[in-house]
Amino acid sequence: MARAGAILITAAVAIAACANPDDPVDFLDPLDRENDSDSFDKDSVLSTAELEDVTSEGLTADSFQTYFLRTAYRRPSFLGSYRSNGRLASEALVRAGLAHRINPLVLLTRAEMDQGLIASDSYPENPDRVEYAFGCGCPGVGNCNPAMAGFDRQVDCLAGKLRAELDAVLGSAKQTTGGWAPGVERMTLDGELVTPTDAGTSVIYEFSPIVGVGKRGAWLFNNVFRLTADSLGYSGLSGTGDGQSWIGDACQANADCSRQELKCALGPQIPGGICTKLCSESVDPCPVEAGKASPACIAFSETQGYCLAQCDLADPNACRQGYECRNGQVFEPTGAAVKPICVWKKAQ
């Protein structure tokens, strides 16, 4: 699974008001906890790219609807026919994901973790497990706002909270509300030291500040996410694309790039396309791969950077055809550093 980060335990944000979402619950299916613990990396639970992914194969309403009819639990989920406020659960997941740029599979994973909703083949006896699945609008036990009732409103609320925490890590705060941040070691509620590798894992621990190997927390998230992703045909877990193009190489589609987190940038001023990714030098740096040139995170605005291939200014053939080696400003708060990078030639 691609790498991600962890969160601070002293002020973790709970996503369910009426119960602790990470306590073991009897409605979870045994499959939720059946996995190889040795494959779990507590410092790298979910990458930032995966958390923000809303366009990959498997993340459509049709894909979710098909999955609900034949889940990984070898039985259909009631979510396949359930509607809230006139909207199917599959539609609600995708709608919330697109609205907040949060992977709808992350939302569905939390629905199973917190309430066992995927594995339930019938509507739960306790309606709150669905109508107030994430505790949004419930400041206390038995005190929920009817205006927030419905799975659609609950997933939209959760997606908004995830987005706010991710923006905090990637923005000026550089950490979640609870203080989880990439490269910062913290102790979880179950006494494990965790050092998140990027913003994605930091956000996961903000909402689930427990490692919980074998039963709950980040380990359970990893299990449920993997289990569901495999059945959906979502390939974001592997961290690799189908192609061979590295950062700066030519491409015509995202699948041409060698890693899932890389995207193919196309346009009339970008000859042959280019594999790149959004980045921040200090919070969400460019990936490094053995045997390949290290890229640089170059500022394209005050808030947005992209990974581009570094080059040698003295070498006239350092960049591929249509590109030239020029100094670019590295995306850092100081704004002082520059590095030579391959960029498309300016229009004559």
pLDDT digits (tens, 9 = 90+) for 151-201: 999 999 999 999 999 999 988 899 999 999 988 999 999 999 999 988 899
Structure tokens at 245: 């193009």
Structure tokens at 235: 């390939």
**Which carries the bigger pLDDT value, residue 135 or residue 25?**
135
- Model confidence at 277, pLDDT cuts 50, 70, 90, reads confident
3-class SS at 190?
coil
**Which carries the bigger pLDDT value, residue 60 or residue 140?**
60
* Cross-strand partners of 309: 295
Q: Indicate if 229 and 300 belong to the same structural domain.
A: no
Angle (deg, nearest 10), helices 217-232 and 199-207 = 120
Q: Indicate if 124 and 88 belong to the same structural domain.
A: yes
Residue-wise over 16-45: b if at least 16 C-beta within 10 A, else e?
bbbbebbeebeebbebbbebeeeebebbbb
- Say if 24 falls within a structural domain: no
Mean pLDDT to the nearest integer, 292-299: 87
Cβ–Cβ under 8 Å, residues 341 and 296: yes
- Model confidence at 242, pLDDT cuts 50, 70, 90, reads low
| Tally of structural domains, the chain | 2
**Which carries the bigger pLDDT value, residue 4 or residue 207?**
207
- pLDDT at position 304 is 72
The CA distances from residue 66 to 75, 90, 109, 231, 309, in Å, are 12, 9, 16, 10, 41
The CA distances from residue 279 to 16, 198, 284, 298, 332, in Å, are 31, 11, 5, 8, 10
Q: Indicate if 226 and 181 belong to the same structural domain.
A: yes
- Model confidence at 25, pLDDT cuts 50, 70, 90, reads low
What is the span of the domain harbouring residue 78?
A: 30-238
- Say if 111 falls within a structural domain: yes
Q: Indicate if 203 and 79 belong to the same structural domain.
A: yes
- pLDDT at position 283 is 67
**Which carries the bigger pLDDT value, residue 19 or residue 41?**
41
